[in-house]
Structure 1
Amino acid sequence: MDLRTMLNKLKNHQYDSPTEIRDDARLMFTNCRTYNEDGSDIFECATRLEAFMEERFAHAFGENGRKRRTL
C-alpha cells in the first residue's frame, strides 16, 4: 500500500468506511518500515507521520472504532 494507491481509491470511491482508510494507512506504514532500512530518512519520516495520523485517528474514531467526527 502507498499514498498514491490510497488517493486513487479515494477518487474512485473504493472505500466503504473510514476504518478502511485507517487500515490502509496502517498497512502503508508497516510496508514502509519493512522495505526501508531502520534509521533511514524514509523509515524515520514514516514513523513520525504514523504517530501524527494515529493521534488523529484516535480523535476521530474514539476507543470503540466508530467514527465520531471528521479528520
Structure 2
Amino acid sequence: MTRPETLTDIQRADRFYYFQQHAFGALIEGQTFGTATTTPPGLNLLLLEVTLSAAHLRLPSTFIEHL
C-alpha cells in the first residue's frame, strides 16, 4: 500500500519485478493462460540472483522506446 512516489528507484524496481513475476500469465517463455495447483510458483527466491544476473546481461543491448 506504499505510494510509489515515496520509494527509491531500487524499491520501485523491486516492486515492478515482484508484480511482473506474480501477474497472471507472466511467463516469459512459452504461452499459457491457465492455472494449476501442481506446479511450483513462478518466483523462486533461491534463484533470484541468477535470474537478475541473466536480465542484467541482456539489458545492455536493449533499446526501450516510448512513442
TM-score (norm 1): 0.31
TM-score (norm 2): 0.33
| Greater C-alpha radius of gyration | 2
Structure showing the higher helix proportion among its residues: 1
